[in-house]
Structure 1
Amino acid sequence: MPISESRKRANEKYNAKAYDQVKIIVKKGEREKIKAHAESKGMSLNGYINALIDADMQKTASED
């Protein structure tokens, strides 16, 4: 079932209030490779990138 326009607007309003967005740029074709790798781990592309960032930040914090 398609999402209604009012639901889309409500989602966009919530996302703008609750989340910050970060744009990354990768070479053509890399996005699909990264997405496939994330899915092979049972993760979304966004979840995979966030997990990598969190792991690196934890590692860096433990080194300090």
Structure 2
Amino acid sequence: MDEKKGTPATRAKNKYNAANYDRLYPYAPKGRKEVYEAAATKAGYSLNEYIIKSIEEKIERDENKCNKKEPQE
């Protein structure tokens, strides 16, 4: 039999998430998750928001750093 798992609402949410989000699975050393969660909470973000914001800020800094390099003559 073709048994569907979850309620229709859960299936709809899963379908939406699959279509609109990429999943990342970062691994952190034991004990660091608590440090990251505390920093996120202190900053007023969820852990996910904090991680995404941190990555975006790092990308921006790296791009600015590359753009500021003096052209070689």
Same fold (TM over 0.5): yes
The aligned residue for residue 10 of structure 2 is: 8
For these two proteins, the number of residue pairs brought into alignment is 61
The aligned residue for residue 25 of structure 2 is: 23
Where is the helix percentage greater, Structure 1 or Structure 2? Answer: 1
Taking structure 1 as the reference length, the TM-score comes to 0.83
Larger radius of gyration: 2
Greater RCO structure (CA 8 Å; 6+ sep): 1
Q: Which runs of 5+ in 1 are unaligned?
A: none
C-alpha root-mean-square deviation of aligned residues, in Å? 1.4
Taking structure 2 as the reference length, the TM-score comes to 0.74
Q: Which runs of 5+ in 2 are unaligned?
A: 1-5, 67-73
